[in-house]
Amino acid sequence: MTVRKRIAFIRPNKWPLANTKVQEEVKNQFPDYEFDVIDIKPLLKRHPAILVINGLWTLLLYGFDILTGNKRFLEAFWYTPYIFRSVKRLLAQRLSKSEYLFTFQMQSLFDCSLPKVPHFVYTDHTYLANLNYRDFKPNKLVSRRWIELEKQIYDNATITFVRSSNIQQSLIEQYHYPDERVICVYAGSNVNVDDRRIQQKSYLGKNILYVGIDWNRKGGPELVAAFQKIMAQHPDASLTIVGANPKVEIPNCTVLGRIPPEEVAQYYEKATIFCLPTHLEPFGIAFLEAMQARLPVIGTRIGAIPDFVHDGWNGFLIEPGDEQGLTEALIKLLNNPDQCREFGERGFALAQERYSWEAVGRRFHQHISNKLS
């Protein structure tokens, strides 16, 4: 019998950074095996006919929604049965040249499994979990035919690893997935904060930090409105916006837009409060980065966020769109630097214990090894 000496790691693309972090960690956990990394979107670019045909499929399935603004073409493009099956076929051809100990895929956009090869999925979302968000409209759902194919991803997985308890619950309740085959392993931080610089952090500076690209979805307008209100009581407060690039022209507000990941750490280190009042969030790694920087955090009571932001313990949770609640939470923290320090230390301890890629990697190794033995 041929002994499999290779592992296939499959991801939609190199970006976002978590895709690379997980790849490195899985490789570290299984150092005795050859490691093949397959990026699906670059693979598809070598087959332009598939992309053209799928463009037609996208218009066929979602043309009316695209015209009426319910969907964006580039998002809908990845939710057709045609591209789902095309990726399955291309991967089977690509992976047929080697024997694999197991295959591991990031996210649940495609079915990357092979017959008779143990297969593991790591995802921060399910599609039907969108229905649990108050601001998600059912008419934004993708094709029912694609959702049926999504179930195939989980059915063909040996284990589905998830980042948060809400997605674990979604798989069990919305997809009727066996609870013993879904395991919450959490996630890690993507920014390396220099702990030496924050051990003696002062919380007197009143520096509020926002990190997020999708300005409206992540509650940016509400944060700006709340910030303008708190200025009456705290005229020395400041707001720094990283990632998004909105047109905001108010005093004490700095908009940085997108910056390289290695430059983000300095803004966590300078901040005294982290605030991301998001409306819809598959996970929210920026919260973990803030916790690593010993920051008190303000978030919303949605998705994975209550897993790591405990209201009144290491931060405050509000409802999405609650501008008044956001204002009050900010004022509480600005009024109480000692509480900021206490919240920050608690969040840091939780992040160290649970939310590091090394800890996630150890959990992968434990459960995968159990299945392979």
pLDDT of the residue at 196 = 72
Residue-range domain boundaries for the chain: 6-188+356-372, 195-354
pLDDT of the residue at 15 = 86
From CA 124, how far away is CA 141, in angstroms rounded? 18
Q: How far is CA 248 from the centre of its chain?
A: 26
Q: What contacts 7, CB < 8 A, 6 or more positions away? A: 26, 27, 30, 33, 34, 35, 36, 100, 101, 102, 103, 104
208: nearest Cα among 233, 248, 242: 242
Q: What is the DSSP letter of 185?
A: -
pLDDT of the residue at 191 = 80
pLDDT of the residue at 5 = 83
CB-based contact 7:32 (threshold 8 Å): no
From CA 300, how far away is CA 48, in angstroms rounded? 41
Q: Does domain 6-188+356-372 have CATH number 3.40.50.2000?
A: yes
pLDDT of the residue at 198 = 74
How much is the CA Rg of the chain, to the nearest whole Å? 22
Report, as ranges of residue numbers, the positions in the chain whose pLDDT lies below 70: 1-4
pTM as predicted: 0.90
Looking at every residue in the chain, the average pLDDT score rounds to 94
Judge if 6-188+356-372 and 195-354 fold alike in CATH terms: yes
From CA 157, how far away is CA 111, in angstroms rounded? 9
Burial class (CB in 10 A: 0-12, 13-18, 19+), 216: exposed
46-103 pLDDT per residue, tens = 999 999 999 999 999 999 999 998 899 999 999 999 999 999 999 999 999 889 999 9
**Superfamily holding 195-354:** Glycogen Phosphorylase B; (3.40.50.2000)
User: 185 is written with which tokens?
Assistant: 């392993």
